[in-house]
Structure 1
Amino acid sequence: MSVTREKILELGENLIRTKGYNAFSYQDISSELGIKNAAVHYYFPSKENLGTSIVKTNIQRFEEMVDNMHSRKFDEWQQLDSFIKIYVKSYREQKKCLVGSLSPDYSTLSDTTKQELKRMIDIILKWLTELLDSGRAKNMFNYNDDPTSKALTIFSSLVASLQLSGIVEKVDYKSFCQSILDDLKP
């Protein structure tokens, strides 16, 4: 893959996660990278192409992370902790997660980008549901909800907490994330 294409993807994702999808343009990317707008359009003919590629790249990263955790034989606690650490890192970097960044602009996204975003959410929720169900079966997790509801509660809490942390001052984000884990302890 081209270095320029990679840089455009990386910067595009950063702009989405810090400014929002509709708040940046190709001019922002070309100015930052010191290239012409035509170069951005060469790799991504439309913003739809860029947005969809960014979501697909994040899906691939998530799937690679899960595969890596499985190959390293992470148990359910370690997997959930690793997932939550993604949000802690985003908080430290003052970035929203991709789902939280694209959600407010959902109605303005192309159908292709919407489909990929839905696919990403489905993949994450399916993994998290299976993780919670497996962890409960092994008496590692304790919760009363069905696993699908618990997965949605955890995921939506993480997404929303990053949104709110940009508004609410003095958030002890690590404690918030720890409370998610503490609520699952047997």
Structure 2
Amino acid sequence: MPSAILKSGRRRPIRGGRDTREEILVAAEELLLRRGFNGFSYQHIAVRLGIRNAAIHYHFPTKEDLGVALVRRYRLRFLAWTDEAGKCCAALDRLAAYFQTYVDHLDGRLQICPVGIFGAEFDAIPDLMQREAQMMMRDVYEWMVATLQEGRRDASVAFEGDPRDKAMELAAAMQGAIQFAGIAGRERFEQVLRQITLELQPPARPAVAAVRAA
């Protein structure tokens, strides 16, 4: 399933030794989702992996380097997902698969997604990381606009207004819903998701009754 590409991307260490850089990124991603970028340190990663801080600094000399690598990791994962989804799914199915990634975050008890974290902490993250986050947001936005446009052309998606405006509405609704879920429970997220899905469904075409000639 395409949405699996957007998950943590954990992979086995290289045979014959540890893939320390990859393990650091996986651990940092988990900490980022639970604590936010400014809520963890290299020491948290070192304790989790059973390595020295120096091993982390070897791969990522500064935390800014680590942060930029994390955002790029998300961007590349998202772009790979869009390539895969574009080969096998209609526009409405691709949108539903994207929304499913938010459900995956909730199922993993990670009640805020990376886009939401970078948005909430934007003024507090390093400059290079800010630029990468802006490019990631652009990637998501442009994909969503293109998918909405395609869905309107092939009649698999229905909505009023400009696709650019609809893309912003959908992004804001999903971000808000996942934030609400952390406070008010998963059912609040599901309410928003049901309504979004309903609004994107094309109207059912009335059945045309066969008329026999007298």
TM-score of the superposed pair, with normalisation by structure 2: 0.82
1:125-140 equivalences in 2 (<5 Å): 125-140=141-156
Number of the residue aligned with 1:14: 30
Q: CA deviation at 1:145?
A: 2.1
Alpha-carbon spacing, 1:139–1:123, altered in 2? closer, same or farther (3 Å): same
Q: What stretches of structure 1 of length at least 5 have no aligned partner?
A: none
Number of the residue aligned with 1:53: 69
- Identical pairs, percent: 30
- Which AA in structure 1 matches 2:125? L
- Which AA in structure 2 matches 1:89? D
Tell me whether 1:102 sits opposite 2:118 in the alignment: yes
Structure whose alpha-carbon radius of gyration is higher: 2
- Which AA in structure 1 matches 2:153? A
- Looking at structure 2, the residues matched to 155 and 172 of structure 1 have their Cα atoms a distance apart, in angstroms, of 16
Q: CA deviation at 1:172?
A: 4.8
Report SS of the residue matched to 1:166: helix
- Looking at structure 2, the residues matched to 169 and 76 of structure 1 have their Cα atoms a distance apart, in angstroms, of 29
1:45-124 equivalences in 2 (<5 Å): 45-71=61-87, 73-95=88-110, 96-124=112-140
Corresponding pairs, count? 185
Q: What stretches of structure 2 of length at least 5 have no aligned partner?
A: 1-13, 203-214
- Looking at structure 1, the residues matched to 24 and 86 of structure 2 have their Cα atoms a distance apart, in angstroms, of 31
Number of the residue aligned with 2:10: none
TM-score of the superposed pair, with normalisation by structure 1: 0.94
Report SS of the residue matched to 1:65: helix
- Looking at structure 2, the residues matched to 128 and 36 of structure 1 have their Cα atoms a distance apart, in angstroms, of 42
- Which AA in structure 2 matches 1:66? T
Q: Is the 2:174–2:192 contact (alpha carbons within 8 Å) kept by the matching residues of 1? A: no
